[in-house]
Amino acid sequence: MQPATIFIVDDHPLVRRGFHQLVAGERDLSVCCEAGSVAEALEHLTRYKPDLAIVDISLPDGNGLELIKRMRARAPQMRVLVASMHDEDLLAERALRAGAMGYINKQEAAERVIGAIRQILQGRIYASERVAERLLSRVADNGEDIQRSPVQFLSNRELEVFDLIGRGLSTGDIAERLHLSVKTIETYRANIKKKLRLKSAAELSRSAIQWSLEGH
């Protein structure tokens, strides 16, 4: 029986190497390709047709959530596991809605990634007990949001802009990166400040930098 092929998408070479070594140690799994950006990921996807992709949320040329949607549209049979340093309370549900079948924190990945991969390849959702309990609680509460952080109120696009602010990009740089107008990015910045109850651009920058540092 041919081993399942795994695609690793992460902009940190050491992280990719770590996942590669973990997967390579399993007889039923094999790494078929790696990518460090959205553009590279989409290019490799067509060429290698992997069974499962491990995808980071923060990539240098785009957002992992949007990448997942594009990958799933091009390869609907491929399954996706998200691996991120960001708070799973914030991103796990977003990842599942984007088309992923699992979410794992990079701090726990060494211990759990192989089990998560196998579970997803069997067609089952992988989530930590904490995330599973949270999702079930939402169902029990008729879908009402149980928010723990104001950042959870941000839309996926606002979260992407917030992340890029935290990486030190200017409004113009963000507009160019996302192929949007400067005015649109300014609107996103204003919405983010309002939702996070921040009073100034300086507070927004500090908050974004702190969030970015905690997530990488």
Cα of 215 vs its chain's centroid, Å = 11
Which residues are CB-neighbours of 122 under 8 A, at least 6 positions away?
none
Encode pLDDT of 33-58 as tens digits: 999 999 999 999 989 999 999 999 88
CB 34 within 8 A of CB 20: yes
pLDDT band at 114 (very low <50, low <70, confident <90, very high): very high
- Structural domains of the chain, with CATH: 4-139 (3.40.50.2300), 150-215 (1.10.10.10)
For residues 113 and 107, the model is more confident at 113
Encode pLDDT of 150-174 as tens digits: 787 888 889 889 988 988 899 999 9
DSSP 13-67: HHHHHHHHHHHHT-TTEEEEEEESSHHHHHHHHHHH--SEEEE-SEETTEEHHHH
